[in-house]
Structure 1
Amino acid sequence: MKWIYIAAGIALFIKTLVFPHPPIDTELAILESVVRDSGVPNAVSGIIFRNRLYDTIFEVVVFTIAIMGAKYLLANEQPSCTVYQFPDGPSVVLARLGATISALVSLELAIRGHLSPGGGFAAGVAGGTAIGLIAITSSSKWMEEIYKRWHASIWEKVSVLVFIVLAVLTLVGIELPQGEFGTLVSGGWIPLLNVLVAIKVALGSWAAILIFIRYRGLL
């Protein structure tokens, strides 16, 4: 029986070489269709927040569950007595400089992610990187105090709920006007969805960083 499979595989391989599929120039047409329907130049944002919005909703929910799971699994462990941080001055300066640059990049990607390469997830990762760099150069107690003072956990949950509501409105056909193509206020809900995802990922990363510093002593 295996010889039949081998012969079929060889025949299929020869067929592919001798009779190649004719080139189909549909990629550009698909790209133009996505850009036209979404109203934003960044076709990736159009796909994420329109064509595969169902996937994006569950990606955000899965990230939320992952943060909750890390907190739940480590809740019964003893907090670490030692927190490993950068002790020398040059490393601290470089880390905080990198944090400043990452924070600015995060804002740029969140606000203009629908116009240029970027978007909510990339912005959230950049924001989480900035928070991580600050965490390894600052007091963990100070970081937790700021996290609680600004009610970051509440804002994280609110961003998820608002994102789900706006996503549902998009799925049922209720959208904002697309506006002028290529401008900052364009693409309907997409700019808001970008910002909400950025807030969610950045604040969720902050929560995960604090959890691992508290119970593991390092990132």
Structure 2
Amino acid sequence: MKWVYLVAGLALLVKILIMPNPTEQWEEMSIVDAVVGDSGVPNAVSGIIFRNRLYDTIFEVVVFTIAVLGVAFLLANETPTTIVYQFSDRPSIILARLGATLSTLVSIELAIRGHLSPGGGFAAGVAGGTAIGLIAITANTEWMSAIYKRWNAATWEKISVLIFIVLSVITLMGWELPHGELGTLFSGGMIPLLNFLVAVKVALGSWAVILLFIRYRGLL
């Protein structure tokens, strides 16, 4: 069999040396420009996440949902912490609340305009979760849990996941909203909606995980 490999190697060498490189015959093309043109949004990353590889993004959202459920399941049999030590000095509280305010504004900006500028739904959700975490280290845990239940955050988290999956499946089937004018707020078809839903899902999921860890493990 050695002579077969030798012939194959020589044929490949001849091909490399003699035959022209096909890439030289192609016109120069920017992948970023192609993604922007297909998705209708200036943020090529959002175009790839919510269009070119939307199938993967669906399962990323599902995996995050399973992670939140897993935390609740694993900690359900543990004894809640009786005393939660939190920051009580005035400077720490002021800095934490200021950081939470800034993180919240960043989260809203990325959730609404993530398809136009760097960022997106996942980044917006992380910023929102950061804001919640900063509040949690200085506020009463029972008060935060009461707000979480009053606004039915757990229900809205599940609803956002279901709507995201439905819209994603519709998009994968080939049905899209009009792209609109490139660079405007209402552009990109389904992408702004998917971007916003992911932001809501990640932020609310982070809120649930933070409350669970503080309840069963104290302030980390």
Number of residue pairs matched by the alignment: 199
Distance 1:69 1:120 in 2: 22
Query: Does residue 51 of structure 2 align to residue 50 of structure 1?
Result: yes
Distance 2:61 2:28 in 1: 28
Q: Deviations over 1:156-180 (max 9, x none)?
A: 0000000000100100011100011
Q: Deviations over 1:114-169 (max 9, x none)?
A: 00001000000000000000011100000000000000000000000000001001
Query: Does residue 89 of structure 2 align to residue 88 of structure 1?
Result: yes
Q: Aligned AA for 1:57?
A: I
For 1:127, the equivalent position in structure 2 comes to 128
User: What pairs with 1:60-71 in structure 2 (closer than 5 Å)?
Assistant: 60-71=61-72
Query: Scaled by the length of structure 1, what TM-score is found?
Result: 0.88
Where do 5+ consecutive residues of structure 1 fail to align?
1-20
Q: Aligned AA for 1:147?
A: Y
3-state DSSP of counterpart to 1:162: helix
Distance 1:27 1:44 in 2: 21
For 2:41, the equivalent position in structure 1 comes to 40
Q: How much does 1:22 deviate?
A: 11
Query: Does residue 169 of structure 2 align to residue 168 of structure 1?
Result: yes
Q: How much does 1:27 deviate?
A: 8.7
Distance 1:111 1:153 in 2: 22
Q: How much does 1:218 deviate?
A: 1.4
3-state DSSP of counterpart to 1:116: coil
Q: Aligned AA for 1:118?
A: G
Q: Aligned AA for 2:202?
A: V
CA distance 1:102–1:27, change in 2 (3 Å): farther
Q: How much does 1:84 deviate?
A: 2.3
Where do 5+ consecutive residues of structure 2 fail to align?
1-20
3-state DSSP of counterpart to 1:183: coil
Highest Rg: 1 or 2? 2
For 1:13, the equivalent position in structure 2 comes to none
CA distance 1:27–1:216, change in 2 (3 Å): farther
Distance 1:75 1:148 in 2: 18
Q: Aligned AA for 1:125?
A: V
For 1:97, the equivalent position in structure 2 comes to 98
Q: Deviations over 1:42-101 (max 9, x none)?
A: 000000001110110000000000000000000000001121211100000000000000
Query: Scaled by the length of structure 2, what TM-score is found?
Result: 0.87
Distance 2:137 2:101 in 1: 14
Which segments of structure 1 move beyond 4 Å, counting only runs of 4 or more?
21-28
For 1:197, the equivalent position in structure 2 comes to 198
For 2:9, the equivalent position in structure 1 comes to none
For 1:73, the equivalent position in structure 2 comes to 74
Aligned-residue CA RMSD (Å): 1.7
Q: Deviations over 1:166-201 (max 9, x none)?
A: 100100011100011100000000000010000000
Distance 2:27 2:162 in 1: 37
* Identity percentage of aligned residues: 75
